Structure 1
Amino acid sequence: MISIFELRHIIEGGFLPLSCSCTVNPDRSLKIKVFEPETGRVELLVTGISTANLGSSRAIANLIGELHSEMAARKVAFV
């Protein structure tokens, strides 16, 4: 099992060159905020992500991929 600190580090690194803040709530769910480092403009904010199924690198990579897809879909919607 991956520690919560490792999980946060992997997720935050998965959005470079954007900045990412991954915080753990008291119920061990995650809040992920992805934003432009220079302007602070929020690109994505997701709360209540369960950590129960994030015990493998594949599961974490799938989550990061889904969130990237969500960000891309939002950008297309605003064009």
Structure 2
Amino acid sequence: MLPISVLCSIVESGFEPLSCECTESLGLLRIEVYDSVTKRVELLISGVSTAELTNVRAISDFVGELRTEMRAGRRAFAG
């Protein structure tokens, strides 16, 4: 398992050029993706388990799924 700091760093870099903040609390992640200029939140998801995010490939696949949902306009994840 990767340290949370590394996991969050990979997640955050996966949403560029948007800004992303990934934080951990009680073993669960909160991921907020937003436009750094307008501060408009594009994605807000909390309660993400880290159990399956055990390597770079799994994290990359997870970020890819979230990006696909964002492009599809699925606002279910947005706050």
TM-score of the two chains, using structure 2 as the length reference: 0.89
- Structure of higher CA gyration radius: 1
Higher relative contact order (CA 8 A, sep 6+): 2
Gaps of 5+ in 2: 75-79
Kindly report the root-mean-square deviation, in angstroms, between the aligned alpha carbons of the 2 structures.
1.0
User: How many Å separate the matches in 1 of 2:8 and 2:31?
Assistant: 9
Ranges of 4+ aligned residues in structure 1 off by more than 3 Å = none
Which whole-Å CA distance do the structure 2 matches of 1:71 and 1:25 have between them?
24
TM-score w.r.t. the length of structure 1 is: 0.89
Aligned identity (percent) is 49
2:21 maps to 21
Equivalenced residues, count: 74
CA distance in 2, matches of 1:5, 1:21: 11
Gaps of 5+ in 1: none
